[in-house]
Chains A and B, each alone.
Chain A
Amino acid sequence: MVQTDMYEGMLAETVTMQGANNETINAYFARPLGPGPFPAMVIIHHMPGWDEWYREATRRFAHHGYAALSPDLYFRAGHGTPEDVAAKVRADGGVADDQAVGDIAGAMHTLRSLPYINGKVGVFGTCSGGRHAFLAACRVQGFDAVVDCWGGGVVMAPEDLTPQRPVSPIEYTADLTCPILGIFGDDDHSPTPEQVNQHEAELLKHGKTYEFHRYPDAGHGFFYYHRPSYRQAQAVDGWQKIFAFLEKYLQ
């Protein structure tokens, strides 16, 4: 917790890192100044892209004491405004799950290579990023906590599977090796409350450590202050839940 008489500083900048297939991609990196050791977070952007909200979220984690790295999962789609790039990815049916998992694994390994990390790395994402965060935490060893905020498509019907998304992420639940925090709105359509129930039942079935928090009068993306979906009280509580969960497992 910041005190008014303490020194505070942060470094935030664009960097490059090795992602899936050892390809170089861009990432946004923010960390507190000082020797550390700091816990680390991989921050996975949402469907609307590697945008301003995600830069702010990355800096928010740094403000709370984390070395935070947010890879551009859309790097290979070309460059332009985040919206234009995200629109291209949307038209292409999203990025392939294998590629996203490879990029997230690369971000985790990049963080683990830094000399000022405390040895703990979590992963956070919203929307498609919540789904990607869960998928990566199941398929990659090395995460100590995962935060899934309203990740749509964790529970997929067989007819929705595609070459890019060939396996419903819930099928990987048995492989999850770290605690998971889920933040969901009861009015969301993706994931629906029923899909969240299925996800929770699967975690329970496999004996996983989890916390699911469901918010009334909140739909998809209720943290996004620039969208009509924003719900102030629920967002404030959700952020508090996130930082309490991470303090428990990463500090």
Chain B
Amino acid sequence: MCTMIVEKIKIDGSGKSREGWFSLEQANVSYDHPFNAPLEHALNIDFVNETQGPGARVAVELSAEAARALVETIQAVLDRAEKGGHIV
């Protein structure tokens, strides 16, 4: 909690934790200390369902560079899907 930079968004989808698949309700995006990535701060995304407790979480911890590349890639893939008429 040293930077306190965090945003939450409501999302739809599924995530897979060590307990198996669960419905996602929210993504928590922070730039703060990671638990595992070898960085002082990381772009952390926790895909969660708070109604199922703290263990319903799929976590990624990315370098800022990797996170920016991921955002661009997601956008590019969605653009292609949209152009192909796959997003209705």
Contact = CB atoms under 8 A, between A and B. Distances in A.
Interface of A: 47-48, 77-81, 83-91, 93-95, 127-128, 152-153, 160, 162, 165, 189-190, 219-221, 227-229
B81 to A, nearest CB: 29
Given A48-B35, A128-B2, A90 B30 contact: yes
B2 A190 contact: yes
Nearest to A85: B54
The 10 closest A-B pairs by CB, nearest first: A91-B28, A152-B2, A94-B1, A80-B54, A84-B54, A80-B55, A228-B38, A47-B1, A190-B2, A128-B1
Given A47-B32, A48-B33, A94-B1, A81 B55 contact: yes
A174 B46 CA distance: 40
B65 interface: no
Contacts, number: 80
Given A83-B35, A91-B46, A219-B40, A78 B2 contact: no
Given A81-B55, A189-B40, A219-B40, A160 B4 contact: yes
Interface string B1-28: 1111010100000000000000000001
Interface string B38-69: 10110010101010011101010000000000
Given A47-B32, A228-B38, A190 B3 contact: yes
A228 B6 CA distance: 24
Contact of A47 (B33, B54, B59): B33
A83 to B, nearest CB: 5
Nearest to A130: B2
* SS class, residues of chain A in contact with chain B: loop
B4 A94 contact: yes
A88 B54 contact: yes
A17 B8 CA distance: 32
A228 B33 CA distance: 13
A189 B32 CA distance: 11
Nearest to B29: A91
29 contacts: A47-B2, A48-B33, A48-B35, A77-B54, A78-B53, A78-B54, A79-B54, A83-B59, A89-B1, A90-B1, A90-B6, A90-B44, A91-B6, A91-B8, A91-B28, A91-B48, A93-B1, A93-B6, A94-B1, A95-B1, A128-B2, A160-B4, A162-B4, A189-B41, A190-B2, A190-B3, A220-B33, A220-B40, A221-B40
A46 B67 CA distance: 25
A160 B4 CA distance: 9
Contacts of B50: 88
B51 to A, nearest CB: 11
A189 B5 CA distance: 14
Contact of A87 (B3, B28, B40, B41): B28
Contacts of A91: 6, 8, 28, 30, 46, 48
Contacts of A162: 4
